[in-house]
Structure 1
């Protein structure tokens, strides 16, 4: 009788282990999307509306940036995004506006201190001279040559239109160099379409 009881107990134990194992494997089912969502890195995003940022050097205002929307994204590299236009007024040492910049989009990488601008980028100085390009960088650490691009540019002065590829310019847009001039058109000032 002891042998029968021992066999019966072992049989019950094996059946219980088998049933528990089946339930365990059946209950551990995840689809791939759920697993990826579980381990996905959470990106922090802060949002601000109607933003005004003042850039100063030595206590003097050098630029004021305005944008209807600013997003600060904390990812592997923290950056600030201006997805709905931005406008910047640049000031001289006397506190007067010396040039203006507009773009439909901007991205500022905090670690590099460079603003990437794209879509209808335009700079206008006090003389009414205009720079138009699709993409440009504004690097505040490059004193005297803060603006640069390798994309096509168009510069309109009071008497001519200059097209080219690539350019560097000062923030006040008084100094500029076009890497490769592709065309120049002289236009009398009274007939010039601004």
Structure 2
């Protein structure tokens, strides 16, 4: 009789244990899903300086700093950046509808109506553009249009340009250039 009573107690305890340990699929998913940490800032104004000299000023209405496998900062609602020369004068300004700064790579990916203008009025337009902070170069593998004094160049597949647009290399250019009498571009 005691053995039978012990078996009933053991059986009921086991059933109670099994029933009490059940979690819904949603609860398990909530506890085990990957969590991405994110900071948010509005009306952003940031200065980038090197060795005490201001090199760039960034303004954006909204910024997300995301801590995932790769730490990045996302500007989902437009961004504007002024780049300064060594005498603290604006040499180039940049506008884009979206941008993403990858901290570990020290690079910025810009997309959706990217526009770069230097103080001479030279203009670079493209759908997307990378900016490498270390080399101070812009580059893309997509189509781009460059307007300058007496010239318009359409690049069908990519370009590389210095930050001040003083040197631009198109990978597959087409366009018109005004040339002097000796046959060289003006």
1:42 paired residue number: 35
SS of the equivalent of 1:174 reads coil
**Where does 1:4-153 land on structure 2 (aligned, <5 Å)?**
8-143=1-136, 146-153=137-144
2:183 paired residue number: none
Provide the rounded CA distance (Å) in 2 between the counterparts of 1:175 and 1:24: 73
Say whether 1:162 aligns with 2:153.
Answer: yes
Provide the rounded CA distance (Å) in 1 between the counterparts of 2:110 and 2:172: 21
TM-score by length of 1: 0.85
Deviation of 1:186 after TM superposition, in Å, equals 5.5
The RMSD of aligned alpha carbons is 1.6
Q: Which runs of 4+ in 1 moved over 4 A?
A: none
Provide the rounded CA distance (Å) in 2 between the counterparts of 1:68 and 1:60: 25
Deviation of 1:185 after TM superposition, in Å, equals 3.8
TM-score by length of 2: 0.88
SS of the equivalent of 1:151 reads coil
Runs (5+) with no aligned partner, structure 1 = 1-7, 188-194
Residues 22-58 of structure 1: CA deviation (Å, up to 9, x unaligned) = 2222222223332121122332211111111111222
1:191 paired residue number: none
Provide the rounded CA distance (Å) in 2 between the counterparts of 1:12 and 1:79: 63
- Structure with greater helix share of residues: 1
SS of the equivalent of 2:166 reads coil
Provide the rounded CA distance (Å) in 2 between the counterparts of 1:37 and 1:19: 30
Runs (5+) with no aligned partner, structure 2 = 179-186
Larger Rg: 1
Say whether 1:172 aligns with 2:158.
Answer: no
Residues 61-107 of structure 1: CA deviation (Å, up to 9, x unaligned) = 11111111111111122111111111011111121111110011111
